[in-house]
Structure 1
Amino acid sequence: MSSLQRNHSGKIRHRRHSTEAAPDVNGSVKPSLLVNDQNKYKTMLVRARSSLWMLLGFSLVIYMGHLYICALVVGIQIIMARELFTLRKQAYEDKKLPGFRILIWYFFFTAMLFAYGRFISRQLVNTVTSDKLYYKVVGGLVKYQMVICYFLYIAGFMWFILTLKKRTYKYQFGQYAWTHMILLLVFAQSSFTVANIFEGIFWFLLPASLIAINDVAAYFFGFFFGRTPLIKLSPKKTWEGFIGASFATIISAFVLADILGRFQWLTCPRKDLSTGWLHCDPGLPFKPKSYPLPGWFPWKEWSVMPIQWHALALGLFASIIAPFGGFFASGLKRAFKIKDFGDSIPGHGGFTDRMDCQMMMAVFAYIYHQSFVTSQGFSVELILDQIINHLTDEEQHDLHFQLGKILRGRQEELLLLLE
């Protein structure tokens, strides 16, 4: 393949020659993942600097709280969508279709309204309870949110049909399919991140940190010990890096869960859209349990939070399953013959290059939390939420009357038993 490639915008883009393989005396190329090339040390330094700046910025946003983290996630999603929309963009065809780019973004923001409306409806209602007018308006929007989003999508669908032009059908339908693939594989998955944030920053921070740890550990284990290629889609990935990163990620999951689980600011769920500090009962998963140790140990017991055992499951997923999100992204880049999705982050590529595994991890963390950590019964808070948001005033009064009747009947039965 030529070292010069022409990208979608018509500009010549230089594709760096790989330093991972060197020809032998016969001229054939054999895998040698540790070629003594100064370029890879320069690349490592650039990546390290970028990673440090990202870590500092990320830490600041975490300190600022839930809403700022959500704003960061939304911003990253928009940048990722722009990077992916640009892959199949053809300037010549777009000139024939004025306003077609607006339609694509219309679908994106409609999907955003649907997903976030489903995830933060309870927090939104709780925020406006002090004003009756706002409460009724927001409550109505929440109640009919699915219908509103459906008709917004139908409007976009009709818009798309009305914009179809002869000689551009193939391009337009290709863009339509590409847009929906992005919404399904990128936005639908990454939107679960916001749901995790409101369940407690812990459920956002731990999974995201495990992916970062796995990525960094795989890079360094592969950099210093890598010899055996892992998968053809990602030539830089090695079995040594994969295995070393797996152990590092699982151990880190157990330790990090213990550290992060001690802060209520991270473990408490956010029930509204305010920005104040949180205080709550941490719940059983974050309360240490003591396990007796054999007599020959210097300690009599070992104290472990139950959440640390749950963290091991997250660590296993982050080290074994989540990397396949990166392999998928690598295959996609090979299909389009590009090195990176963008150049927003020096040494790393675009935001899509950094978030490919995070999306799968966010979905798993949400499903795992709902399935194995959250109480499976109906809580009083959940029942009240359903009553307030889905029953009319008359139905609520009727429910109050019926509950009072049931309670009075039980009191009469109790009095008869006492007599």
Structure 2
Amino acid sequence: MQRENSFNYPSSPSARLRHRRRSNEGIVEDLKSNGSPLLVNDRNKYKSMLIRAYSSVWMIGGFALVIYLGHLYIMAMVVVIQIFMARELFNLLRRTHEDRQLPGFRSLNWYFFFTAMFFVYGRLLSQRLVNTVTTDKVLYQLVSSLVKYQMAICYFLYIAGFMWFILTLKKKMYKYQFGQYAWTHMILIVVFTQSSFTVANIFEGIFWFLLPATLIVINDIAAYFFGFFFGRTPLIKISPKKTWEGFIGASVTTIISAFMLANIMGRFSWLTCPRKDLSTGWLHCDPGPMFTPEFFTLPGWIPTWFPWKDVTILRVQWHAICLGLFASIIAPFGGFFASGFKRAFKIKDFGDSIPGHGGITDRMDCQMVMAVFSYIYHQSFVVSQSITVESIIDQVLMNLTFEEQQLLFTKLGQMLQDRLFLQ
């Protein structure tokens, strides 16, 4: 009597062929359900690597050119990236059939997007805009009024969009319209607001934008290559191609790179000086203790063949290690979140604008997380919290009218004269 758990192999050739086909189909289905195989087992990995490398060279070259051009061009690049990201995400839940029944409804998404852009960038750049137009009295008064009422203007713009949405509601389309309304706001909160911290970092000094962004790129490339050649142990189910070998190798590479790159970047005023206005000229400033080299003599147990006996270290390099730790351990979870999101919607990439990489959003998932941390870290542990002359002048220029500034100047001069007379 045959056991119930035994397996009967087909005897005829045609039956064995059908059995083999069913087995192969089962393997394909398992791969589809469990995700792509590890890179080390991917037969097309060399072709995909060449395509990815070619695109990376072009992206890095364009990125370097924008960095050379300066703060305003970097900000323009960030704005363009945000627009492309919004476009990709708006299209993710778009339904052509429903949109045809709602003419003009797609424009509402972009209306909210540019309203949010006006609000966020207005808050970030208002003082720098005022500093730029101080020489022209008429333009200065116009900009000052715009800055003063910017929040109210943005609020009424949003209310106008809210009323527009209500007035366009159509019977039997309520669920789709409210879904799009919620989706738009999620994009603005999760994507746009986080990536806007990047602009704040740029004007604090290109260094605080360039170093974190570069560390994410290095971590991504290192994880790819370590996983490409050594990956054997899967890291997380959400992203099947990620391996522990790639994660650990990339972490070590990123932390070492952070320490070394901070020393190189910290020696250029163009990268370290904050931009106080919206001009495009080259910057020169006092580097301050954060970017002042400190000399250290290496201990005697260092081998004699080592070429350096003294090394120079910038204080910012120790902060760079913290950025490197975050970029290698925490920031990749932004990529894992994006991978889970794509699996939830059953898509491979958010777009196809970058060959070998997917869409813009696929490249910016970790960058957004890193930008927020860099800004918070810089404001909490790097920037001095004490009141400075520059901060007081900024408040005077932004909050007082021209006549009030003249009155303040006159009274301050009288107070200083009285103090000198008493001495």
In the other structure, the counterpart of 2:295 is 290
In the other structure, the counterpart of 2:119 is 114
The yes-or-no answer on 1:59 pairing with 2:68 is: no
Shift in Å, 1:88: 0.5
| Structure 2, unaligned runs of 5 or more | 1-25
Give 1:157's aligned amino acid: F
In the other structure, the counterpart of 2:393 is 384
Partner SS for 2:295: strand
1:36, 1:387 → 2: CA distance? 63
TM-score by length of 2: 0.88
Alpha carbons 1:22, 1:29 under 8 Å: kept: no
Alpha carbons 1:22, 1:31 under 8 Å: kept: no
Q: What is the aligned counterpart of 2:316 among 291, 307, 319?
A: 307
The yes-or-no answer on 1:151 pairing with 2:163 is: no
Shift in Å, 1:397: 4.4
Give 2:49's aligned amino acid: M
Q: What is the aligned counterpart of 1:183 among 174, 183, 188?
A: 188
Shift in Å, 1:356: 0.4
1:279, 1:241 → 2: CA distance? 41
Change (3 A) 1:203 1:226: same
Partner SS for 2:44: helix
Query: Highest CA radius of gyration, 1 or 2?
Result: 2
Change (3 A) 1:29 1:122: closer
State which drifts further: 172-181 or 262-271.
262-271
Q: What is the aligned counterpart of 1:356 among 346, 365, 372?
A: 365
1:119, 1:30 → 2: CA distance? 42
In the other structure, the counterpart of 1:332 is 341
Structure of higher RCO (CA pairs closer than 8 Å, 6+ residues apart): 2
State which drifts further: 226-235 or 399-408.
399-408
2:261, 2:212 → 1: CA distance? 10
2:89, 2:296 → 1: CA distance? 50
The yes-or-no answer on 1:275 pairing with 2:280 is: yes
Q: What is the aligned counterpart of 1:174 among 176, 179, 182?
A: 179
Q: What is the aligned counterpart of 1:70 among 75, 78, 81?
A: 75
In the other structure, the counterpart of 1:217 is 222
1:39, 1:292 → 2: CA distance? 50
Partner SS for 1:192: helix
Alpha carbons 1:186, 1:359 under 8 Å: kept: yes
Alpha carbons 2:51, 2:355 under 8 Å: kept: yes
State which drifts further: 35-44 or 304-313.
35-44
Alpha carbons 1:288, 1:305 under 8 Å: kept: yes
Partner SS for 2:385: coil
Task: List per-residue Cα deviations over 1:319-369 (Å, max 9, x = no partner).
Answer: 111111111111110111000000000000000000000011111111111
CA RMSD of aligned residues (A): 2.1
In the other structure, the counterpart of 1:18 is none
TM-score by length of 1: 0.88
Task: List per-residue Cα deviations over 1:244-294 (Å, max 9, x = no partner).
Answer: 101100000000001111111111112222222111112211101123443
Change (3 A) 1:77 1:30: closer
Alpha carbons 1:32, 1:227 under 8 Å: kept: no
The yes-or-no answer on 1:318 pairing with 2:323 is: no
Tell me the number of residue pairs that the alignment of Structure 1 and Structure 2 aligns: 390
In the other structure, the counterpart of 1:265 is 270
Alpha carbons 2:212, 2:327 under 8 Å: kept: yes
Percent sequence identity is 73
2:59, 2:395 → 1: CA distance? 40
Q: What is the aligned counterpart of 2:198 among 187, 193, 196?
A: 193
Give 1:337's aligned amino acid: K
1:241, 1:36 → 2: CA distance? 14
1:406, 1:358 → 2: CA distance? 50
Greater than 6 Å deviation, 4+ residue runs: 28-32
